[in-house]
Structure 1
Amino acid sequence: MAIRLRIGTRKSAMALVQTEQIARQLAAAVADIDVEIVKFETTGDIDQTSKLLQHGGKGGAFVAEIRDAVRAGKLHAAMHSLKDMPGNEDTPGLVIGATLSRESASDVLVLRPGISLEEFRRSRGKGFKIGTNAVRRAAYARRLFPEVEVIHFRGAADTRMRKLDQKQKQRLPGGGETGPADALIMARSGLERVRLAGRIAYEFSRAEMLPAVGQGIVAVECAIDDWQTRGILACIDDLETHRCADAEREVLWVLNGHCNSPIAGYSSIDGAQMSLTASVLDEAGLMFIEASGRGPADRPRELGRAVALELLAKGASDIIERSRPR
C-alpha cells in the first residue's frame, strides 16, 4: 500500500519548482510513496503592494497559512524557503524535518535591457533606481552605492522581472507609485529556479553583500509528533545544510531580530569544522557590525550563539531596536 504524503506550498512558479524537487527526491528515496502537492495562495501572494511588515513580515505573509494547515492535520508537511521562516520566535508543534542541499546563497544585480553594467559602475548608482523589498538588500545597496535610490519593489521573481523589463511602476502601500526600476537585487537561486539566470549582470561577493539567513535553502516542515512523516523526511535531509541552517538561525534567535531588521548570516562546512559570518546593519546602510567564528560542525547552534553574542557585544541590539516598528 502506497504511503500518501500531502505537502503544502505557495502557488508561485518558484515555490512549485522547489516542491516538485522535494517530491522527486522522496520518490527516489522512499518506496511506494505518493506525494500530493497542495497549492496555497498566501496573503503575501495576494497582496503584492503592501510592505511585508503589514502582514507580520515574511512569516505572516508567506508561511503562517500553510503552517496552520499542518497543525490542523490537513497537510503532512509544508515547503518553505528557509529565509522566509521567522527565526526569532517559537514554532509550537512544528519542526524542520528536512533541508535540501543548499543552492547558491548569493545576491545578484539584474539590469533593465539597454542599461550596461559598465554604465551602472561608472555612475556608482547615481541617477539609478534599484528595486527590492528586502530591508537587508536595501541596506547593503545603500552601503555599496550611496547615491542610488532604493525603491519598494515586490512580487514573485518572474513577476519582478516582467515589471522591470516593461518599465512598470510599483504601487506603494497607502497609495501612489514609485519607479520604474532600472535594476533589481535578487537571489541567484531564485532566478535559476525560474530559468532566468541568464539575466544576471553581476554577482555580489559575500564580502559585498552577506546573504539572508537561510538563503538558498529549501526546508520541509512537519508536526513535531508526526513520527512517520519525520522518518520519511529524514531520508532526504542534507545533514551539512541542516547544520548550516541551525547555526544561522541561532543568530536570529539570540539577536531577537524582526522582519524589519537588516540581519545577514552565512555558514559553511569544511571537514569537521564550520565557519559562520553574520552582520547587522541599519536601514540606511551607515551603521554596520560584523562578526565571524569557527567551531565544530556537529555543534552548529553553539557557534551561532557565540557569533550572535559577539554582535551584541559590538552594539547590534541598539541597531535592531532602532529599526523595530513603533
Structure 2
Amino acid sequence: MAAIQLRIGTRKSVMALAQTGEIARCLTAAVPGLDVEIVKFETSGDSDQVGKLLPHGGKGGAFVAEIRKAVISGGLQAAMHSLKDMPGNEDTPGLVIGATLSRDPPGDVLVLRPGVSVDDLRASRGRGFKLGTNAVRRAAYARRLFPDIEVIHYRGAADTRVRKLDGLQMQRLPDGGAVGPADALIMARSGLERIGLAGRIAYEFSISEMLPAVGQGIVAVECAAQDWQTRRILSSIDDPAAHASADAEREVLWVLNGHCNSPIAGFSTIDGARMTLTASVLDETGGLFIEATRAGPADRPRELGRAVGLELLARGAADIIERSRPQ
C-alpha cells in the first residue's frame, strides 16, 4: 500500500519548526503509512526583522498569508500556524482549522538581561527601564503594571530577541534610527519552552495581571475546507478542548472587528461541561481598560465568545479600538 503524502507548510523559525515537528510526530503516530513533508517558508515577517508588522498586513499578512496561499493553490495540503498569529476579524474562504494540538501554557513571562532583577523593576515602577516588545497588548499591560517603564519597538524570532537582549544590541528602526538596548522582554512562556530557553524566565505573569493574546499557546493546522482526506487525517490529532477554546476566543475578535494595532486579549478555560471566557480591550497606554467574563456550555463556544464580545462593545470597546486604528 502506497504511503499517504501530506505536505505541511510552516515558517522557518526555530519555534515554528519545533511546532511543526511535533505535529508531524503526532500525525505519523496516529496514521499508519502517513508520509509528512515539512515545507519551510520565509515569510515577509521573517525576512523583515526591522519594520513594524502593520505594513505587512499585521501578523496575518506577515506570518500567515503566504503559507495560506500555497494551501489554496494546492501546493500544500496543510499549514501550521500559531493561533495567535491568525487574524480573527476576517474570513478566509475555502480554509478551515483542521486540528489544534492541546494547549501549551498560555501565559506571558518576563525575561531580563543579566544583572537586572524583578525586584529592581518593581522598586522603580519601571523608571529607567526599557522593555522590548512588538505586541501592543503586552505593551499596554506592561504600562499598567509598571507605569514609568519605556516600551521600545523590538522585533525578531524568540531566540533572536533573547540574543539581542543579552548582547545589549540596539534594535534598528524602519527610519534608519535605533532604540535600546532593552533591559527586559515580555514573551510567551510556551515559545521559550519550545526552543529550550525556559530557564531564562525571571517572572511569570498571572492571567489576572496580563491576559494572554487570543489563542496564545495553541498550535493550529489549517487546510482546504473541501479536502476531506486531509481533514480526516488532521482530525486524528485534534484536541477538542483546545479547539473549543480557539473557537470561543476567536469569536471575540470577529465581533470586535479588531485589527493588528488593537490591544485585545482573551482566554478561556473548560471545567467539565462549562467554559469560562474572559476578554479585554485596552488602549495602547494601558489607561483605558474594559474586561468582561462570562460562562456557558462548553459545547457552544462561539455563542459564548459572541456574548463576551457584545458585552465589551456595549461597554465602549469600539471607541478604544477605533482610536487605535492606524490613520
Which TM-score band applies after superposition, normalised by the shorter structure?
Answer: over 0.9
Aligned partner of residue 81 in structure 2, secondary structure: strand
Which residue of 1 is the match for residue 256 of structure 2? Answer: 255
Residue 314 of structure 1 and its aligned partner are, at CA, apart by 0.4
1:235-314 aligned within 5 A: 235-314=236-315
Residue 120 of structure 1 and its aligned partner are, at CA, apart by 1.5
CA deviation vs aligned residue, 1:74-101 (integer Å, no higher than 9, x gap): 0000000000000000011100000000
Aligned partner of residue 191 in structure 1, secondary structure: helix
1:144-293 aligned within 5 A: 144-293=145-294
* Amino acid paired to 1:144: L
Aligned partner of residue 96 in structure 1, secondary structure: strand
Runs of 4+ in 1 over 6 A off after TM superposition: none
* Amino acid paired to 2:247: D
Q: Is the 8 A contact 2:8 2:80 kept in 1?
A: yes
Q: Is the 8 A contact 2:50 2:171 kept in 1?
A: yes
Aligned partner of residue 115 in structure 2, secondary structure: coil
Which residue of 2 is the match for residue 3 of structure 1? Answer: 4
Q: Distance in 2 between matches of 1:190 and 1:54?
A: 25
1:56 correspondence with 2:57? yes
Residue 107 of structure 1 and its aligned partner are, at CA, apart by 0.3
Which residue of 1 is the match for residue 316 of structure 2? Answer: 315
Aligned partner of residue 190 in structure 2, secondary structure: helix
* Amino acid paired to 2:50: T
* Amino acid paired to 2:33: D
RMSD, matched Cα:
0.5
CA deviation vs aligned residue, 1:121-141 (integer Å, no higher than 9, x gap): 211111000000000000111
Aligned partner of residue 24 in structure 2, secondary structure: helix
1:36-75 aligned within 5 A: 36-75=37-76
Structure 1 regions of 5+ residues with no counterpart?
Answer: none
Q: Distance in 2 between matches of 1:289 and 1:266?
A: 14
Q: Distance in 1 between matches of 2:305 and 2:103?
A: 18
Residue 65 of structure 1 and its aligned partner are, at CA, apart by 0.3
Residue 143 of structure 1 and its aligned partner are, at CA, apart by 1.0
Residue 252 of structure 1 and its aligned partner are, at CA, apart by 0.1
Which residue of 1 is the match for residue 101 of structure 2? Answer: 100
Aligned partner of residue 198 in structure 1, secondary structure: helix
CA deviation vs aligned residue, 1:38-69 (integer Å, no higher than 9, x gap): 00000000001110011010000000000000
CA deviation vs aligned residue, 1:134-158 (integer Å, no higher than 9, x gap): 0000011111111000000000000
Residue 117 of structure 1 and its aligned partner are, at CA, apart by 1.6
Aligned partner of residue 8 in structure 1, secondary structure: strand
Aligned partner of residue 276 in structure 2, secondary structure: strand
Structure 2 regions of 5+ residues with no counterpart?
Answer: none
Residue 25 of structure 1 and its aligned partner are, at CA, apart by 0.2
1:84 correspondence with 2:81? no
Residue 119 of structure 1 and its aligned partner are, at CA, apart by 1.4
* Amino acid paired to 1:31: P
Q: Distance in 1 between matches of 2:145 and 2:313?
A: 24
Q: Is the 8 A contact 2:10 2:40 kept in 1?
A: yes
Q: Distance in 1 between matches of 2:118 and 2:85?
A: 30
* Amino acid paired to 2:276: S
Residue 257 of structure 1 and its aligned partner are, at CA, apart by 0.3
Q: Distance in 2 between matches of 1:308 and 1:292?
A: 10
* Amino acid paired to 1:116: S
Q: Is the 8 A contact 2:3 2:35 kept in 1?
A: yes
* Amino acid paired to 1:111: L
Which residue of 2 is the match for residue 118 of structure 1? Answer: 119
Which residue of 2 is the match for residue 141 of structure 1? Answer: 142
Aligned partner of residue 35 in structure 1, secondary structure: strand
Aligned identity (percent) is 78
CA deviation vs aligned residue, 1:196-246 (integer Å, no higher than 9, x gap): 010000000111100000000000000010000000000000000000000
Q: Distance in 1 between matches of 2:46 and 2:282?
A: 28
Q: Is the 8 A contact 2:122 2:146 kept in 1?
A: no
Aligned partner of residue 268 in structure 1, secondary structure: strand
Residue 298 of structure 1 and its aligned partner are, at CA, apart by 0.2
Q: Distance in 2 between matches of 1:116 and 1:286?
A: 26
> Aligned residues, how many?
326
Q: Distance in 2 between matches of 1:272 and 1:96?
A: 23
TM-score by length of 1: 1.00
* Amino acid paired to 2:210: M
* Amino acid paired to 1:252: L
